[in-house]
Amino acid sequence: MPIQTQTQQLLEERLSVVPKEVRSVICGDKLNEIVRAIQIDFSLTDIQSNRLSDEILLTLLFFYPTINLDNRILESLGIDTEASGKISSYVQQSLFAPMSGIYEQTNEMFVTDEAKSYKTVPEVTASIATPNIRTMQGDIKATSQEDLLKGKQETKIDDDTPRWGNQT
């Protein structure tokens, strides 16, 4: 099964099991509004904004705990510690605080070894012009199980559209 399909399937499965409050944040406008406000307040580029959205989305879907969101924002966006702390604080207050019971009780429940083996957003998106996991494109397949675990993928590129995986 191609990686895009596996990743998309994993995201869809996770979305189907999260509480309805979380699903409404992900599928509604709230996430986009918060990311846009942060982009304006902190003068983030579109790439940084997409990476921030990805990090928040992965946290909302319980791939990562909320507790280290500031460190992931720091690494993913390539910004200073003070700014990442402020952004994380804003996200915590705006998104996670209203749903604190959900995340306090279940944050580690969904973080599985399978999810932990995936590359982090900065690793995956470092060479992609406009990364955003909501709009994954391309036909990507692993050449073998071993290559899949190492993150080596074979990508068929028909045009200049950004793709996940190693671009050839």
Q: Residue 99: which residues within 8 A CB-CB, separation 6 or more?
A: 19, 21, 22, 25
Q: Are 76 and 121 in contact (CB under 8 A)?
A: yes
pLDDT value for 77 = 93
pLDDT per 10-residue tile (average), the chain, 168 residues: 72 85 88 94 94 91 85 92 93 84 55 47 48 48 53 50 48
Nearest to 54 by CA among 64, 40, 41: 64
Facing residues of 155 across strands?
140
Tokens of 34: 């918060």
